A and B are shown apart, each in its own frame.
Chain A
Amino acid sequence: MKNLKKGKKKNWRMRIVALIGFCAVLSIVIQVDAGVSESGVKCRVEIDRAVLPAGGAQKAVVKITLDAPPPPEKSMRPAVNLAIVLDRSGSMAGQKLERAKDAAIEALRHLGPMDMFSVVVYDHNVSTVVSAQHATNIEWIEGRIRQIRSGGNTALFGGVSQGAAEVRKNLDGNYVHRIILLSDGIANVGPSSPEDLGRLGAALIKEGISVTTVGVGTDYNEDLMTRLSQNSDGNTYFVESSRDLPRIFTAELGDVLSVVAKKVHLIIECPNGVKPLNIIGREGRIKGRFVELSLNQLYGSQEKYALIEVEIPVGKSGEKKDIAYVNVSYENPFTQKKETSSGRVYARFSKDRIKVKKSTNIAVQREYYFNLNAISQERAISLSDEGKKNEAVSELKRSANKLKEIGQEHNDEELLKRAEEMEIQAGQIEKQGMTKKYRKVLRTDSYQMKNQQMSK
């Protein structure tokens, strides 16, 4: 009986210890304060290692993840203000232009009467085929699109400008503003450098207009197209065969029609002593202890993140230190109200190396190295452009090795798979050189990774 009682007491004690242990583990694992909003965008802030080595200054990576909720089923989705800008230069003649028209009509059919729709075409001239109007008179609009014929050169800047002018007609309305640009050639009329088009994109995002670029074939200028998308927070696609165009347009429209947050603004504040060093993969502003980032929109059920490299001062073993506080503000397109979400992350310090290693957050590490790999891809393109093919291949191989090393260290399949893909890509480039296709694949991959573009 005594033994039985002793046994029962021991059991209780074990249960209490287990409960405490579980709580402790839970407190380590969940060192993140989730966003306050239940139905809105959730903000998760994580650090690449929850326990940092004590006794020295070090760099760490903070990942701020925005979890967009799925679009509410009962509410009516936000209206879309869409301008399709089609390249009708001579090189588009034939199947390409026909498929592009099909794609534009496909996009039109996905819209509802509350949406605005316009079509601008350009060769050396720019003309508005369908001026901004409600997507109601479908047959007439289809007829107008079908009448588009191929022409001469490529005034891409003018086309986007005119598309923006059409979107701007309804800028004050409660719309998700979007331009879809399709081109298959080198812009040769008007400003045509990636820098110039990037500036245009940067200006358009200030008006809440994003430009999604679709490059067809292997002759378009991918640098220009991705820069335009990147600076305006749009998506970018590389379509080798024009047959895929309707599918791509549908995918893109799927994103546009599911916008759940607009004008997203992140302010990351680091406490005294913690210094933000670098923003990985995104354009933003670092000002002292503050980092500011903007996104034009979040799509339903989408996860977007930002990676910030920070410098953390010396910490004592057992010390707990706040690393970053994050405030997210955005416009809810369903209610047209400003909403906020916030998060914070801290780290503990320990002299125990095993503890430090065990605390590694592989999800953060993975995204960090994926983004570094995207930067390596861009560097490889630059090296190849300078005629340094071997250095470009070495750069890609180096990046693949790093991915492999980290993947093996943490036994992460995704990292290993990516490393393998990169090795294959490097091998192909080594064998065949940086062909137009590989260059486009690298550029688009790199952008889609940095932008966390899901649909490819």
Chain B
Amino acid sequence: MKRRSIIIFWLLLLMPTLVVGAAAFKLLRNEQRRINQEVRLSAQDRAHAIGDSLQLTVEAVEDGLTEALKRIPIEKLEDILISWEERNPLVRNSFIWNQKVGLQKQKPGSYTTSEERRFILRYSSLISGRIPWKNSGAEEEQTGLVENQGRRQKKIRRQKLVERARQTAGEYQSSGGDFKEASRESAGWIPWFEANNLYILGWVRKESGGLVYGVELEVMTLLSRLITDFPLTEALSEGMVYAIIDGNGKVLHQAGKAGLKTGTRPDITVSLAPSLPHWQVAVYFIDGTMMTRSGRGFIVLSGILLAIFIVAIVLGGSLLMWQAHNNLKDARQKTSFVSSVSHELKTPLTSIHMYAELLSTDRIKNPDKKKHYLKVIVTESQRLTRLVNNVLDFSRLEQGSKKYHLEKLDMAVFLCETIKAHSLRIHKAGLVLKENIPDKNIIVETDRDAMEQVLLNLLDNAIKYASEGKELSITLKVRKEYCELQVVDRGPGVPFAHRESIFKKFHRVDDSLTAGKPGSGLGLSISRRLLRDLGGDLLYRLREGGGSCFIVQIPFN
């Protein structure tokens, strides 16, 4: 397969895969964005709901206290306000103020508790009359409040808290007189800031006499109650923190499984004004993710599936391509093998046919010539036999039906005999043979025919490819566990890239050297398999100074 075809194939495979993958990832990102948006909207809604609930709580407390304040009979005003201070946890301080006299209950310089002293200092501008008694919010507590239906319903649910706020006034309700009369009074709540801390002052003004009185809310109690109304951590998604923060961004309370680092900015804020000015309900998305666990799970799983899909396509395509490439290579090798074998078979057959025909016509009278022709026929038929043996052996080896007849074999004797039988061929090929065979018996237990076939294959290769080197050396050495036969020539050697491939079936070094030589590409493959079956091996070493060295290892047992 040509490189260009491979590139085109890869492009055809990769391009659509990548396009599909990119499109799928884009869809996933869109889905993630959509889920994030939904989570954000849901968190925003929840923050608004919490904010509404907190504001209603504060309003309920304020309404309850205002109502109770209005019901206090003027003659018992001071006593009742002091008892509120002592018994109602929602009341921090109380006051009675007159436009002419100023503070009546506490007189600057003669306060009764240290808390009163701080109260006087805190509201000095209000007490001195520099700031008028006016509600800072848009809502003025006049004859009835304008409320929408939803808030009214929520307020009913807060009735219990109103009752709690009224608690201290309960005993005075009956003596408080007519509410209609009270409703003519004006009242309000003033959020007050001192040293960045929020204070809330509630007041009621009697129309006659300019008397103003009221209470300061205990903000810490209020916060303490608001906290218990805040959602529980267990009910919140992981990675999401809900908090109440003050005007300085300080977290007053938080709920959520993750902790908040100092300076973290909220992702969503909902103001608690006018009830609690500058206070906010804040939502933090930890690590920048808004995902719920299930949402994140969906995205991660989809991502993994998509990645698996892309990898599977690429791997599957590659596998198919590799398979096709192998099949093509095999087909080529087989074609080459058939062609080579046919040629190999045809050449000796042609010679045999030609000389046999000449001899059959009786035209050759010269007995030497006859003898020569018969010798050629014998040689060529031997060559044909070797070739057919190779093909048969290959077939048996492929099928696993090759049978070996093990026998005691003296390698030195066997080698000498075989070399002697083929010395003429070697000599005719122009090779000078050097034998280094020890003069002793080297007994191995092996298959004689297999050994002969291996040796003939190696000699044939030397005659075929290394005859120009003029040198062939056959050495037998005894090693510890096996004997080693080295067949060394001064031929061109095997190129580096083919040193292992030459032992593969049908493989032939495809260059000018072998192109002109006939061969099936089976000799070395069969030799190695035979030897390995017999417990030995066939290796190739590059010979120093050029040439090849084939090493045959034959185990003793």
Contact = CB atoms under 8 A, between A and B. Distances in A.
Interface of A: 123-127, 152-153, 155, 157-158, 160-162, 164-165, 189-191, 196-197, 199-200, 202-204, 206-207, 283-287, 294
Main secondary structure of the interface of B (DSSP, over half): mixed
27 contacts: A124-B254, A124-B259, A124-B260, A153-B259, A155-B254, A157-B220, A157-B253, A158-B253, A160-B224, A161-B225, A161-B227, A189-B253, A189-B254, A191-B252, A196-B220, A199-B92, A199-B218, A199-B219, A200-B224, A203-B218, A203-B220, A203-B224, A206-B86, A206-B88, A207-B89, A286-B112, A294-B86
A200 B251 contact: no
B531 interface: no
Contacts of B89: 203-204, 206-207
B221 interface: yes
Name the residue in B92, B257, B259 with the highest tally of chain A Cβ atoms < 10 Å from its Cβ: B259
Contact of A287 (B92, B112, B233, B253): B112
A285 B259 CA distance: 43
Contacts of B221: 199-200, 203
B227 A285 contact: no
B224 A189 contact: no
B228 A125 contact: no
Nearest to B252: A190
Interface of B: 86-90, 92, 112-114, 218-221, 223-225, 227-228, 232-234, 251-257, 259-260
Contacts of A200: 220-221, 224
B31 to A, nearest CB: 31
Nearest to A197: B220
A265 to B, nearest CB: 9
Nearest to A286: B112
Contact of B251 (A152, A161, A189, A197): A189
A138 to B, nearest CB: 25
- The 6 A-B residue pairs whose C-beta atoms are closest, nearest first, are A161-B224, A203-B89, A203-B221, A152-B259, A199-B220, A165-B228
Nearest to B226: A161
A126 B227 contact: yes
Given A165-B228, A199-B220, A203-B220, 14 more contacts: A124-B254, A125-B233, A125-B256, A127-B232, A157-B220, A161-B225, A161-B227, A190-B251, A197-B220, A199-B219, A202-B218, A207-B89, A284-B113, A285-B112
B229 to A, nearest CB: 10
B96 to A, nearest CB: 14
Nearest to B259: A152
Contact of A158 (B90, B92, B227, B234): B227
A162 B230 CA distance: 11
A268 B466 CA distance: 131
B254 A164 contact: no
A161 B233 CA distance: 15
A421 to B, nearest CB: 29
Name the residue in A153, A189, A203 with the highest tally of chain B Cβ atoms < 10 Å from its Cβ: A203
A253 to B, nearest CB: 25
Given A165-B228, A191-B220, A125 B255 contact: yes
B160 to A, nearest CB: 12
A153 B259 CA distance: 7
B533 to A, nearest CB: 67
A153 B233 CA distance: 15
A164 B224 contact: yes
Contacts of A285: 112-113
Name the residue in B87, B92, B224 with the highest tally of chain A Cβ atoms < 10 Å from its Cβ: B224
A96 B298 CA distance: 41
Nearest to B90: A203
B253 A155 contact: yes
A233 B89 CA distance: 15
Contacts of B219: 199
Nearest to A290: B112
Contacts of A152: 259
A75 B360 CA distance: 146
Contacts of A155: 253-254
Nearest to A205: B89
A161 to B, nearest CB: 4
B517 to A, nearest CB: 82
A152 B256 CA distance: 12
A127 B86 contact: no
A124 B255 CA distance: 8
B483 to A, nearest CB: 74
A204 B253 CA distance: 19
A228 to B, nearest CB: 11
Nearest to A128: B232
Nearest to B255: A125
Contacts of B233: 125-127
A287 B232 CA distance: 45
B277 to A, nearest CB: 17
